[in-house]
Amino acid sequence: MTAALLQYLISGVTIGAIYALVGLGFSIIYNASKVINFAQGEFVMIGGMAAVFLVADGLPMVAALPLAVLLAVLVGIGLERVAIAPARGASVVTLIIITIGASILLRGTAQLVWDRNFHTLPGIGGGMPIEVLGATILPQAVLVICATMAIVAALFWFFKATRTGQAMLATSYDPTAALLVGIDTRRVLTLAFALAGGLGAIAGILITPIGMTYAGVGVMLGLKGFSAAMVGGLGSPMGAIAGGLVVGIAEALTAGYLSSAYKDAVAFVIILLVLVTRPSGLFGRRDGISL
Amino acid sequence: MSAGQSAGLGLLAVILAALPFVLDNPYHFEIAILVCLNATVCVGLNLLIGYAGQISLGHAGFFALGGYASAILTLSYDWPPLGALAAGALGVAVLAHVVARPILQLKGHYLAMGTLGLGVIISIALNREVELTGGPDGTIVPPFSVLGWMPFESLEWYAITAGLMFVTVWLSLNLIGSPIGRALRALHGSEVAAETLGVNTASHKNLLFVASAVLAAVCGSLYAHFSGFITPTEGAFHHSIELVTMVVLGGMASVFGAVVGAALLTIAPQVLTVFHDYESIVFGAVLMGMMIVLPRGLVPGLVRLVQSVGFGR
Amino acid sequence: MKIRSMKRRAAFGLGLLLGLLTFAPPGGSAAEPIRIGAFLAVTGPASFLGAPELKTLEMYIEEINGAGGVLDRPLELIAYDAQHDAKKAVTFVKRLIFQDRVDLIIGGSTTGTTMAVIPLVERAGVPFISLAGASVIIDPVKRWVFKTPHTDRLAVARVFEDMVARGLSGIGLLSGSGGFDQSCRGNAKALAEVHGLTVLADELHASGDTDMTPQLTRIRTTPGVDAILYCGFGAPTSIVAKNLRQLGIDLPHYQTHGSASQKFIDGAGAAAEGTRLPAAAVIVAEQLPDDNPQKAVGLAYREAYEARYQEPISTFGGHAYDALMLAVGALERAGTTDKEAVRTAIETTERYIGADGIYTMSPTDHLGLDTESFVMVEVHDGGWRLVE
């Protein structure tokens, strides 16, 4: 019985780490621009699909994976330049629709440039499971968890210890004041989209060997990452990580003990509960940003 | 109703009456009927988004619930279609009323997320309750009938849906002109200001939320009977987005804008199947482009253009 | 200044709008060719069904036209990609019937898309040959609807016979939520008792799920389960095999003819090894005894397909081959494209030897397929091996 519980926790933490990375992207963009980027899931798709097709074109992994991340970073920057910057000051509804338009555009482009079919990447360790106390864990899942921890540590160092990171934080607290003390808030905005693109792509590459990827994979992953960010408190990077794990584990336990059919609904039920009882999320201050 | 609105209503009546003479095959009729149904939903949704300033990313859920109520009650329980339609509308009204209070307290992104969550949960339930709904592959819906009259020909369906849409447009225009309408507009401007003036903002928002949800459910029922088949994609997130986009594209706070937006976005995908592979690329690009260039939407944008030309500078 | 920029914005918007409207849908052309409409899952999660079906139709229609066509008229294929989407299928079939005015419809790679269009096809009265698996399509018989693949009911029966022969008794059942999946699940639960087997676990997964480990973990922890049957098709079939290996479950693993494609094996890699499923004999044609009537047809189809497309055949392309040949045979016997005459001709098909088996239709049997050609195969060294 405990073996089964351990099994569910393993898959919950693995998928939770992915939600956390996607949620982080949401938070970083929200902090820089107060925009909810509905195209965040498409970064995940671009990372996975680009990696699959670059590898299929004969590139070695070490070259293909960074290139796939780079592509998503460029798409992120392009999205900010083409769609977000010209629409500054537009209403929430307008901005939501612009990013949704972007997500449809990116999905359509991926279907055309690549294809509409399911793909996978070889995971590390050849997909042979490791046994732990009666449960099994894939080497790739270990990689997902470790990589997520490393990325989170690097991000926190970036925000605490670098001038650029500090500038981004300052901008999220008060854009006008940041502008007054000489921070180039335009650059901060661009950087936020680049960062979110990169994080999404890394998540996409990490999860592809475990699940599968296709042009539409970003829709659900994006929404669940959004839930993670929302549960933790919109704009709180720490909250996004905690939110991701909460959503991932709750999903896995529901699938295991209650109903595997309603696994996907868990994230949204949690959102509704959090919104109604504690709208600023578990870690967020009302309208505030915290680290 | 202003002179401009009356003229618009007249023009709409003429177009609706003339269309049957132009459409020459059932496929074209089908598109016209879909336009009418979408326009009806959008006029209702526009009251909520455009006038009360409350976004909903979950209205497709209500549409689908209406459709499935009709499908399941007529197919498995032998209800008369009209009774099933009414039951679906009533059920959705109750659901919308219950969730309205907590959800409508939220604002901006939080409100968007709350309605999105509700819509997605409905859509997941429709997908998973396989025994009841037929699962992701959907279910057959028996033909519609009222007292033995069974609309089957495209023209009859067109008459029903075009009539419903016209009445909805007419009622909305009247509502906007009424004291309630003025209160609603105050709500969009500033909720606090409206409250100090004695407007009961919560009950007005609830009313619009419930009304637009019921309208969506009724259209969902009619759609299910008309197409003879319904799948959970009707309740999916993507469909909610389409509906909101129709409203925003046509122009928020413009009843005719909602109609124009619905017409454009219903016809466009049918036309775009010609270039098939580029369909979603074009759709996404138009969506982004329109919102960046004309953030107020098509109809208000054009009206301003005409006014600026007409009245000089 | 403000007004001018407003005007420019509005003009731009209007330009976009007009650009959209000038693309009018295409009209029907003069009626010379015989028009065959098709709606298939060419892309998406069921693409390993639809893609080879479309390729097969294109290849043989080209060949038939090269040899002078049917009734001295060329065949014209009008094919749409409905993916695995019932709503798209309904839209495209309306288009085929009313806009393209086709003489006959082939398609519905999946049960869901097929069932969605049946009311429409029955009302309009167009001969319709489905390529989907579930028994509900032709049972009860519908006037205008035929199908070519063996049914899921037969597949389940074959699987259960094999389980009994191997001395297995407790079934862990996992199903998708699509039409085929559910039809198969229902048949499995109904037939288990007849074969003296018990369904001990009955798990479901959602369409689009990419991780079935929770369901499989539950099956593993159910006492008494000594065999696993997966009811589903398309991309999830590979995921199930991979997840089983990931969890270290090595019970005998069965799937249905919804997995009978090299794509299943390629998607699951080493995890597919040992998976058993019933399939049309065409995929193991070279392993059949020489006196099997299936062997010649199967080898000829395989040779033509693999020479042209440089990829292994699947049974799905075979379903499309049979549908097209049944249609052509019926058109020739009817001597006209009159829909009622063609329908009657399909219904009176007698001993057509196809890729899936030998068909003899009747007013009470719109499949009419023999069962000898439905064999048990096992994945072995990345290919298919006939189980004796």
The answer for residues whose C-beta is within 8 angstroms of residue B124's C-beta and 6 or more apart is A262, A264, A265, A268, C206
- The least confident of B166-180, C11-25, C58-72, C334-348 is C11-25
Of C236 and A128, the structure prediction assigns the larger pLDDT to C236
Mean pLDDT of the residues in chain C: 87
Least confident segment among A80-94, C139-153, C281-295: A80-94
H-assigned helices in chain B: 3-22, 26-46, 59-76, 81-104, 108-128, 130-133, 154-177, 179-189, 191-196, 201-227, 237-250, 255-272, 279-293, 298-310
Residue B120, φ and ψ in degrees, nearest 5:
-65, -40
Nearest-Cα distance to chain C for B113, in Å, is 22
Say if the Cβ atoms of B121 and A268 lie within 8 Å: yes
Asked whether the beta carbons of residue C43 and residue A264 sit closer than 8 angstroms, the reply is no
- C154-285+375-386: CATH topology is Rossmann fold (3.40.50)
Distance CA A221, CA A215 (A): 12
Q: What was the pLDDT predicted at B197?
A: 64
Instruction: Return the number of other C-beta atoms located less than 10 Å from residue B154's C-beta.
Output: 20
What is the arrangement of strands in the sheet containing C34-40, beginning at the earlier edge strand?
Answer: C75-81, C34-40, C104-107, C128-130, C145-147
pLDDT tens series, chain B, 313 aa: 677 788 889 999 999 988 888 887 778 888 899 999 999 999 999 988 888 778 888 999 999 999 999 999 998 898 999 999 999 999 999 999 988 888 887 777 788 888 889 999 999 999 888 888 888 888 888 888 776 666 667 788 899 999 999 999 999 998 888 887 777 776 666 666 666 666 667 788 888 899 999 999 999 999 999 888 898 989 988 899 889 888 888 888 788 989 999 998 888 877 766 556 677 788 888 888 888 888 777 888 777 777 777 654 4
The half-sphere exposure of B26 on its side-chain side, counting CA atoms within 13 A, is 18
pLDDT at B192: 65
The ranges assigned to domains in chain B are 39-237
> Predicted confidence band at C10 (pLDDT cuts at 50, 70, 90)?
very low
Q: Least CA distance to B54: which residue of chain A?
A: A93
What angle (nearest 5°) sits at the alpha carbon of residue B191, between those of residues B189 and B195?
A: 125
Q: What is the pLDDT of residue C25?
A: 41
Q: Assess contact for C323 and C109: CB atoms under 8 A.
A: no
Q: Which residue of B has its CA nearest to C205?
A: B128
Residue C189 has pLDDT above 60, yes or no: yes
CATH class of C34-151+297-372: alpha beta
Asked if residue A45 has pLDDT above 90, the reply is yes
Three-state DSSP state, B129: coil
> What is the domain partition of chain C in residue ranges?
34-151+297-372, 154-285+375-386
When pLDDT is averaged across residues A30-35 and rounded to a whole number, the result is 85
**Region of poorest pLDDT, from A281-290, B1-10, C73-82:** A281-290
Average pLDDT value over all residues in chain A = 87
What pLDDT, on the 0 to 100 scale, is given for residue B194?
Answer: 66
User: Which of C38-47, C61-70, C125-134, C335-344 has the least mean pLDDT?
Assistant: C38-47
For chain A, which residues lie within 8 Å of any Cβ of chain B, measuring from their own Cβ? 36, 82-83, 86-87, 90-94, 96-98, 100-109, 111-112, 219, 223, 226-227, 230, 234, 261-262, 264-265, 268-269, 271-272, 275-276, 279
Query: According to the model, what pLDDT value does residue A2 have?
Result: 81
For the ranges A18-22, C29-33, C49-53, C279-283, the lowest mean pLDDT is seen at C29-33
d(CA B313, CA C98): 52
Alpha-carbon gap, residue B104 to B212, rounded angstroms: 14
What's residue B191's pLDDT? 65
Examine the pLDDT at C203 and tell me if it is beyond 80: yes
Per-residue pLDDT tens over the stretch C225-234: 999 999 998 8
Structure tokens at B30: 């089908």
ipTM of this complex prediction, to 2 decimal places:
0.84
**Helix, strand or coil for residue B145?**
coil
Supply the pLDDT for residue C240. Answer: 93
pLDDT for res B36: 95
Separation of alpha carbons C271 and C245, rounded Å: 6
Buried b (16+ CB within 10 A) or exposed e, C16-51: bbeebeeeeeeeeeeeebbbbbbbbbbbbbbbbbbb
DSSP C295-334: HHHHHHHHHHHHHHHSS---HHHHHHHHHHHHHHHHHHHH
Predicted local distance difference test score (pLDDT) of residue A127: 67
Compute the distance between CA of residue B277 and CA of residue C27 in angstroms, rounded to an integer.
20
Look-up: residue for tokens 């020739």? C332
Lowest-pLDDT choice from A229-233, C111-115, C130-134: A229-233
Length of chain B: 313
Q: What is the pLDDT of residue A171?
A: 82
CATH fold label, A2-277: ABC transporter involved in vitamin B12 uptake, BtuC (1.10.3470)
Residue C313's CB: how many other CB atoms inside 10 A? 26
Residue A135, pLDDT above cutoff 70: yes
List, as one string, the DSSP characters of C228-257: EEEE--SHHHHHHHHHHHHTT--S-EE--G
CA distance A213 to A208: 6
Q: Please judge whether B233 and C98 are an interchain contact, meaning their C-beta atoms are less than 8 angstroms apart.
A: no
Are the beta carbons of B308 and C6 separated by less than 8 Å? yes
pLDDT of C278 over the 90 cut: yes
User: Is the pLDDT reported for residue C5 higher than 60?
Assistant: no
Boundaries of every domain in chain A: 2-277
Q: What percent of chain C has pLDDT over 70?
A: 92
In angstroms, what CA-CA distances link C59 with B303, C51, C91, C306, C307? 55, 12, 26, 11, 11
pLDDT given for residue B148 in this prediction:
67
- CB-CB neighbors (< 8 A) of A1 in chain C: 221
Q: What is the DSSP string of C8-22?
A: HHHHHHHHHHHHHHT
Which one has a higher pLDDT value, A132 or B120?
Answer: B120
A136 pLDDT band, cuts 50/70/90, is confident
* CB–CB contact B229 C119 (8 Å): yes
| A93, A106, A265 member nearest B55 (Cβ) | A93
Min mean pLDDT across A9-13, A127-131, C275-279 is at A127-131
Q: Per residue in A112-146, is it b (16+ CB within 10 Å) or e — as a string?
A: bebbbbbbbbebeeebebeeeeebbbbbbbbbbbe
The predicted model gives C198-215 an average pLDDT of 86
Among the residue ranges A239-243, B140-144, C145-149, the one predicted with the least confidence is B140-144
Ordered DSSP codes for chain A: -HHHHHHHHHHHHHHHHHHHHHHHHHHHHHHHHS---TTHHHHHHHHHHHHHHHHHTT--HHHHHHHHHHHHHHHHHHHIIIIIGGGTT--HHHHHHHHHHHHHHHHHHHHHHS-SS-B--PPGGGG--EEETTEEE-HHHHHHHHHHHHHHHHHHHHHHH-HHHHHHHHHHH-HHHHHHTT--HHHHHHHHHHHHHHHHHHHHHHHTTTS-B-TTTHHHHHHHHHHHHHHH-TT-HHHHHHHHHHHHHHHHHIIIII-GGGGGGHHHHHHHHHHHH-TTTTTPPTT----
The dihedral of CA B228, B230, B235, B241: what is its sign?
A: negative
CB-based contact A201:A251 (threshold 8 Å): no
Please state, rounded to an integer, the average pLDDT across all residues of chain B.
84
A231: which residues sit within 8 A by CB, 6+ positions away?
A239, A242, A243, A246, A247, A270, A271, A274, A281, A282
Find the mean pLDDT for residues A255-262: 82
pLDDT digits (tens, 9 = 90+) for C216-251: 988 988 899 999 999 998 888 998 998 898 888 889
Report which DSSP code applies to C169: -
Mean pLDDT of A171-180: 81
Q: Do A269 and B103 touch (CB under 8 A)?
A: no
What integer pLDDT is reported at residue A128 of this predicted model? 77
A182: left (phi over 0), alpha (psi -120 to 50) or beta: left
Q: Which of C1, C2, C4, C12 to mutate to test the interface with B (most CBs of B within 10 A)?
A: C12
Q: Looking at chain C, which residue has its C-alpha nearest residue B233?
A: C87
What subunits touch chain A, counting only 3 or more CB pairs under 8 A? B, C
Using the structure block, give the residue that is written with the tokens 């990931």.
C246
**pLDDT at residue A126 tops 90:** no
Beta-carbon neighbour count of residue B174 at 10 Å?
13
The 10s digit of each residue's pLDDT in A55-88 is 999 999 899 999 999 999 999 999 999 888 888 7
Residue C36 near residue C327, CB atoms below 8 Å: yes
Percent of chain B residues topping a pLDDT of 90: 31
Query: Which pair of tokens denotes residue C368?
Result: 């009419």
Q: Which of A110-124, B97-111, C146-160 has the highest mean pLDDT?
A: C146-160
The Cα-based distances of A251 to A18, B68, B144, C211, C371 in angstroms read 13, 27, 40, 12, 43
Edge-to-edge strand ranges of the sheet holding C276-280: C198-204, C170-175, C227-231, C253-254, C276-280, C374-380, C383-386
- Mean pLDDT check: name the lowest of B274-283, C99-108, C276-285: B274-283
C388 burial (CB, 10 Å; 0-12 / 13-18 / 19+) is exposed
